[in-house]
Chain A
């Protein structure tokens, strides 16, 4: 053992490292973790008390009645306003407009749902972009889709 002093020191160092890890883990371990399953139970209450970010169709309709009515009449009736625009809370706080709502007129917005893909259901309206617009005789510009389709009621 007399000549194994360095080994003993190295092993002690390792033990120290393990102890440090156990201590760090002890302090960082989330408090309510594993109480009711493999998650931090406190997060349930945290999420429940968070302020909502999104609204719904009705919350936009309160101020944009006409737009909402147009939307409900057409084929986009099932599409939420916030999918194409942005969450309510970025635009309205305490019932007043606080910031402009983004308006995306690009073809990419429509492509997220209408680009032709094998993985989409057969019956869903799909077109090959940008070929579709070119075939119909339009110039590809920002907002090209709006020349012929009303985003709020595409068949109009």
Chain B
């Protein structure tokens, strides 16, 4: 009830309208795009050392994609009107395009996952009985062609899909950055760099999420963590954190060096209002430390045991997941706690526990994809194909 604040505010500056769910929205779509782009490194660019996570990252991407609209629905005052964005989209609204980009991307992702698992589906159809068999038959669309030629066709289509998926993922997430970057009234958001910054940190969060899912998943299924794969993940992760943090700092250095009007408010925003979440989490805890940890993995790989490498990667990934969340928070909330007059602040916002845009629901949204992956794994193996080589012998 009591709202304290200081400086000068306009009457409409008092409320934070884009709350926790709008922080979650770019976070979750970022995980989608990041995991997908990682998968493409294997499926399109044939980084074969990434094979162990080729399927996992696609399925993770789908899981988070399915969870993404929940953030927007929870944000809406009238969720039942959410679908209108598909019925009567206003072409002058950046948001209106979301529905279509989302749907196209979903179709592409499902198609790709289906192709990747197709041979397994057919094998499972041939092994199972009754309802289960019927289920896998439908999944296979009634075609049991696992011949060399058919696989060749699969592979061709897969490369095309994945190649289409890269701009798709970049679009899906770059445009989320654009929604902020295009708000010209807000100097903390309005920059053409925004889509790129969002995209790079999305890749960071996606890879970090896959590192964690892979390590945990492997533990649960009693396999061993592939050292070459983990080393490669660490290398990519390191590269993208460095790019991402550099871009984030570049943006701020430009603002600081230009020292235009808006710097008067952005400086206190960063060093006072957001001191903890920006300097503490986004720069030091979430970026500097993981960069050092991953640097050790990348540069001193020869001296590391698998155990140490895995632990370093795991810890760094957890920290990076926090970093990217903090970055989203600092953008979304940070952009709303200062007045459009550039002369005052409202008090910082903290989400409630059980609110519609509260902490419990946010956690559930993040748990959903994990459950999804676990369930998916019961239907189709997420880690390794059932049979690497001779599928010829299997005719259902």
Interface residues of A (CB under 8 A from B): 2-7, 9-10, 13-14, 17, 21, 25, 28-30, 33-34, 38, 108, 111, 115, 117-120, 129
Contact B1 A111 (CB under 8 A): yes
Tell me if B's interface is mostly helix, strand, loop or mixed: mixed
**Contact among A9, A111, A118 for B143, CB-based, below 8 A:** A9
- Residues of chain A within 8 A of B107, CB atoms compared: 14, 17
Rounded to whole Å, the gap between the CB of A28 and the closest CB of chain B is 6
Beyond A10-B114, A118-B9, 15 additional contacts (C-beta under 8 Å) are: A5-B143, A6-B140, A6-B141, A6-B145, A7-B153, A7-B154, A7-B157, A9-B141, A30-B87, A30-B88, A38-B90, A108-B1, A119-B9, A119-B11, A119-B14
6 tightest Cβ-Cβ pairs between the two chains A and B: A6-B143, A3-B149, A3-B150, A119-B9, A9-B141, A119-B11
Cβ–Cβ contact A14 & B88, under 8 A? no
15 contacts between A and B (CB under 8 A): A3-B145, A4-B153, A6-B118, A7-B154, A9-B142, A9-B143, A10-B141, A14-B107, A21-B86, A33-B88, A34-B88, A38-B90, A118-B7, A119-B14, A120-B11
CA distance A30 to B87 in the complex (A): 9
The interface residues of chain B lying within 8 Å CB-to-CB of A120 are 11
Chain B residues, CB < 8 A from A6? 118, 140-141, 143, 145, 150
What is the bound-complex CA distance between A25 and B14, given in angstroms? 39
Query: Least Cβ distance of B118 to chain A in Å?
Result: 7
Q: In whole angstroms, how far apart are the Cα atoms of A9 and B139 in the complex?
A: 11
Whether the Cβ atoms of B111 and A29 lie closer than 8 Å is no
Complexed CA–CA distance, A5 and B7 (Å): 68
* A10 / chain B contacts, CB cutoff of 8 Å: 111, 114, 141
Give the total number of A-B pairs whose CB atoms are below 8 A apart.
Answer: 66
CB distance B86 to A119 under 8 Å? no
Residues of B within 8 A of A25 (CB): 86-87
The residues of A that contact B145 with a CB separation of less than 8 Å are 3, 5-6
From residue A79, how far is it (CB to closest CB) to chain B in Å? Answer: 17
* Chain B residues within 8 Å of A115, by CB: 1-3
Contacts of A13 in B (CB 8 A): 141
Counting CB contacts under 8 A, is B306 at the interface?
Answer: no
Is residue B5 contacting chain A, with contact meaning CB distance below 8 A? yes
Select B111's contact among A14, A21, A28, A111, beta carbons within 8 Å. A14
CB pair A119 B13 closer than 8 Å: yes
Complex CA gap A117/B111 in Å reads 55
What is the CA–CA distance of A3 and B7 in the complex, to the nearest angstrom?
70
Per-residue contact bits, chain B 52-96, to A (CB 8 Å; 1 contact, 0 not): 000000000000000000000000000000000011101000000
Name which residue of chain A comes closest to B93, CB basis: A38
B380 to chain A, nearest CB (A): 16
CA distance in complex: A115, B11 (Å): 13
Q: How far is the CA of A40 from the CA of B6 in the complex (A)?
A: 43
Counting CB contacts under 8 A, is B26 at the interface? no
Instruction: Give every chain B residue within 8 A of A119 (Cβ-Cβ).
Output: 5, 9-11, 13-14
Q: Is B264 an interface residue (CB 8 A)?
A: no
CA of A6 to CA of B118, assembled, Å: 10
Q: Does B147 count as interface, using CB distance less than 8 angstroms?
A: yes
CA distance A107 to B389 in the complex (A): 76
**Nearest CB in chain B to that of A38: its residue:** B90
- Tell me which residues across on chain A come within 8 A of B135, comparing CB atoms: none
Among A30, A34, A118, point to the contact of B344 (Cβ < 8 A).
Answer: A118
| Structural contact, A118 and B8, CB atoms closer than 8 A | yes
Interface bits B138-169 vs A (CB < 8 Å: 1, else 0): 00111101010110111001000000000000
Q: Mark B151-191, 1 if CB is under 8 A from A, else 0.
A: 01110010000000000000000000000000000000000
Name the B residues within 8 Å of A30 (CB-CB). 87-88
Contacts of B90 in A (CB 8 A): 38
Q: Shortest beta-carbon distance, A74 to chain B, in Å?
A: 24
* B140 surroundings in chain A (CB, below 8 A): 6
Point out the residues of chain B lying under 8 angstroms from A28, CB to CB: 87
Once bound together, how far apart are the Cα atoms of A30 and B152, in whole Å?
Answer: 47
Distance of A5 from chain B, by nearest CB (Å) = 5
Q: Is the CB of B14 within 8 A of A29?
A: no
- Which single residue of chain A is at the shortest CB-CB distance from B7? A118
Residues of B within 8 A of A129 (CB): 2
Expressed in whole angstroms, the Cα–Cα distance for A121 and B103 within the complex equals: 47
Q: How far is the CB of A22 from chain B (nearest CB, A)?
A: 11
Chain B residue at minimal CB-CB distance from A26: B87
Of all chain B residues, the one with the shortest Cβ separation from A33 is B88
Task: Annotate B273-287 by CB proximity to A: 1 below 8 A, 0 otherwise.
Answer: 000000000000000
Could you tell me the distance in whole angstroms from the C-beta of A21 to the nearest C-beta in chain B?
Answer: 8
Q: How distant is B41 from chain A, measured CB to nearest CB, in Å?
A: 24
B15 to chain A, nearest CB (A): 10
CB neighbours (8 Å) of A29 from chain B are: 87-88
- Which of A10, A17, A21, A115: most chain B Cβ within 10 A? A10
Q: Which residue of B lies closest to A25 (CB)?
A: B87
- Output the residue of B5, B141, B149 with the most chain A CB within 10 A: B141
Distance of A119 Cα from B6 Cα, bound (Å): 10
